[in-house]
Structure 1
Amino acid sequence: MAMDVTLRQLRAYVAVLECASFSEAAKAMHLSQAALSGLIKELEARVGVRLLDRTTRKVSASSVGETFAPMARRVLANLDEALDNLTNLKELRRGLVRVAAPETLSCTLLPELIAGYGAHHPGVDVRFDDVPIQEVVAGLQNGSTDIGFGPAGVVPDQSVEVHIICADPLWVALRSDDPLARGTSVGWKDLRERTLLNYMPNIAINILSQVPPRNHPKQLLPVNRVNTALSMLRVRQGAVICPSMAEPLVRGFGLTFLPLLQPAVKWKIAMFVRHSASLSPAVESFRDFTLAFSQSGAAGGIRRERRKRM
């Protein structure tokens, strides 16, 4: 049968043992001696046994009290530890954020975003998965991912908040021996006769819907990863469309990278956050940091800053 023992009673009991005096324990707890004595009497009445031996000279634990004392201390220590952990989570000295994004963002935007957040909150563990966009969406829906990133046109469902964080111009990767690589930009109509090595899901809805049908590429060769598309482009003619922030990745394959114009189309990047009545402080702070990062223009300026360093 459970007893209505309070933490205040346990703290009073432990304080008396540590001070070996009712008066000193009362001072330590900022109570009157009568109030402290009342707490001890309530505790002994509720457990049904005497826990303290009192004499005119000292106070000590009874035989039962000696057995009970370490258990009482353990209860109070566990509570203090739990409260400390809660404070650490609230003040972002600890915490966990599970983030996922597809490959293109994993090697462009996300490293700088996560590094920037980590500099402000080094105690928060940001666990990152670079997975296809379908797995990003699945993780958000099943709860294994807190925050995801991907094309804005990929709308998971109503259980997920969508925040547009930047709109990056689309560029085109070409082999250096492609005649189009000699110019300073490429028009959509110039790509019509070239095979488009495409890794982007829903390209017809998200991108080609913004281009006149007469300028659509005649042939699309679908692949799953941007690295696969760029690797294939190294050994065959064609083109790969990427957001401009992917320039370091494209250059790493020894390819030419040029603005794609007529029309200029932007790739909208979104942050997806699981709807929750009580997001953890760490997840909330990462969401807010990302929004501030995007509003400062940092997200859209990654490619420009990297070009300065190249």
Structure 2
Amino acid sequence: MAMDVTLRQLRAYVAVLEAASFSEAAKAMHLSQAALSGLIKELENRVGVRLLERSTRSVAPSVVGEAFEPMARRVLASLDEALESLTNLKELRRGLVRVAAPETLSCTLLPELIANYNGLHPGVDVRFDDVPIQQVLARLQNGSTDIGFGPAGVMADPSVETHLICADPLWVALRPDDPLARGRSVRWKDLRDRPVINYMPNIASNVLSQVPPRHHPREMVPVHRVNTALSMLRVRQGAVICPSMAASLVSGFGLEFLPLTQPAVKWKIAMFARRRTSLSPAVASFLNFTLDFAPNWTTTGAESRPAERGKRA
């Protein structure tokens, strides 16, 4: 039965899911709506189960269709990668690298990394998405992202390699009128009675596990984005813990930024990629470029100059 399913049917199915509309999916595939509907009907007949629930206003995956979606995406991603690998030249005149990272890295290290890589390989198309870390991990697993970045320790999928690329000291953002902002650094115990506006995922295991429990902040105010945390800090008392690379972000909000000490804790940044045996030449090149230049990244990110080393190589 599986041999009767065509790639064209799978592409039609994924297109409908992404567009949530038969008409929009048909436009994206340059087909008539009748032709697209025929492909979906053929696919459902082949597998013997309804994959999509249709109504006059919407279309959505059935229970079985929802489970089938990541498998279909992996098949298509694997095929796309195989075909691309055949056409890529060793000189990397062509290629595609799909990169994803959460907000803090998207605003600091990633733009410079991508710009310097494209300076050496202008023919490689690096497509970047700034998404929450949960989506970075999900895209790696379903094959829609080639390389992801985020805090170390969040990826447990054995099909994905984790590469520790740098460790950045944690600092704290404070309002200018906060008495702690007058010093040259802030101790963890000084934050004990201040609300910490926290956007960092898994802060308990990745950060607070390195701090004595008696110095843990009593109150955490959870948010999803660093910009949200810094915006809230502008209008209320509290603190925001960030890696030092976020200095330019913090400064843009008119806040003070000081090192966190006693103890000094570092935020470990990792790169995630599928096993090397499945990487295209362009993806492998981007991965190796990152591993080569990551040791040169300074704690502020904006001061790092990986391109200079690349020009000398």
State the TM-score, normalizing by the size of structure 1. Answer: 0.69
Distance 2:303 2:286 in 1: 24
Count matched residues.
223
The residue aligned with 2:116 is 116
**Counterpart Cα distance in 2 of 1:243 and 1:215:** 19
Q: Tell me the alpha carbon deviations over residues 49-98 of structure 1, each in whole angstroms, 9 at most, x when there is no partner.
A: xxxxxxxxxxxxxxxxxxxxxxxxxxxxxxxxxx9x95643321010000
Preserved CA contact (<8 Å) 1:169 1:265: yes
CA deviation vs aligned residue, 1:198-253 (integer Å, no higher than 9, x gap): 00011000000000000000000000000000000000000000000000011000
**Residue 157 of structure 1: CA displacement?**
1.1
Q: Distance in 1 between matches of 2:121 and 2:152?
A: 27
Shift of 1:102: 0.2
Per-residue Cα deviation, 1:251-308 (whole angstroms, up to 9, x for no partner)? 000000000000000000000011252310000000000000113x2254625559xx
Equivalent-residue separation in structure 1 for 2:262 and 2:303 (angstroms): 22
Change (3 A) 1:161 1:171: same
Q: Which position in structure 2 is the counterpart of 1:96?
A: 96
CA 1:140–1:156: 2 relative to 1, 3 Å: farther
Corresponding residue of 2:38:
none
TM-score (norm 2): 0.68
1:151/1:95 CA distance change after superposition, 3 Å = same
Give secondary structure in 2 for the equivalent of 1:277. Answer: helix
Distance (whole Å) between structure 1 residues aligned to residue 277 and residue 303 of structure 2: 38
Give the match for residue 234 of structure 1. Answer: 234
1:223 and 1:229 in contact (8 A); partners too: yes
Extract structure 1 runs of 4+ deviating beyond 3 A.
Answer: 85-89, 303-306
CA contact (8 A) 2:153 2:206 kept: yes
Secondary structure of 1:104's counterpart equals helix
What letter matches 2:150 in structure 1?
G
The Cα RMSD (Å) is 1.9
Question: What is the distance in 1 between the residues matched to 2:304 and 2:89?
Answer: 34
Q: Distance in 2 between matches of 1:137 and 1:149?
A: 9
Q: Distance in 2 between matches of 1:142 and 1:278?
A: 14
- Secondary structure, aligned partner of 1:154: coil
* Match runs of 1:136-155 below 5 Å: 136-155=136-155
Amino acid corresponding to residue 208 of structure 2 in structure 1: L
Opposite residue 137 of structure 1, the aligned amino acid is L
Q: Is the 8 A contact 1:152 1:164 kept in 2?
A: yes
2:283 aligns to what? 283
Give the direction of change, closer, same or farther, for the CA distance of 1:299–1:185 in structure 2 (3 Å limit). closer
Q: Is 1:212–2:212 an aligned residue pair?
A: yes
How far apart, CA to CA, are the structure 1 residues paired with 2:135 and 2:304? 30
Show the 5 A alignment for 1:70-109. Answer: 86=86, 88-109=88-109
User: Which stretches in structure 1 are left out of the alignment for 5+ residues?
Assistant: 1-82
* SS of equivalent residue, structure 1 residue 128: strand
TM-superposed CA distance for 1:155, in Å, is 1.9
Cα distance change of structure 1 residues 129 and 299 upon mapping to structure 2, 3 Å threshold: farther
Residue number in structure 2 paired with 1:133: 133
User: Which segments of 5 or more consecutive residues in structure 2 lack a partner in the other structure?
Assistant: 1-82, 306-313
- What is the aligned partner in structure 2 of residue 273 from structure 1? 273
**Structure ID, larger Rg:** 1
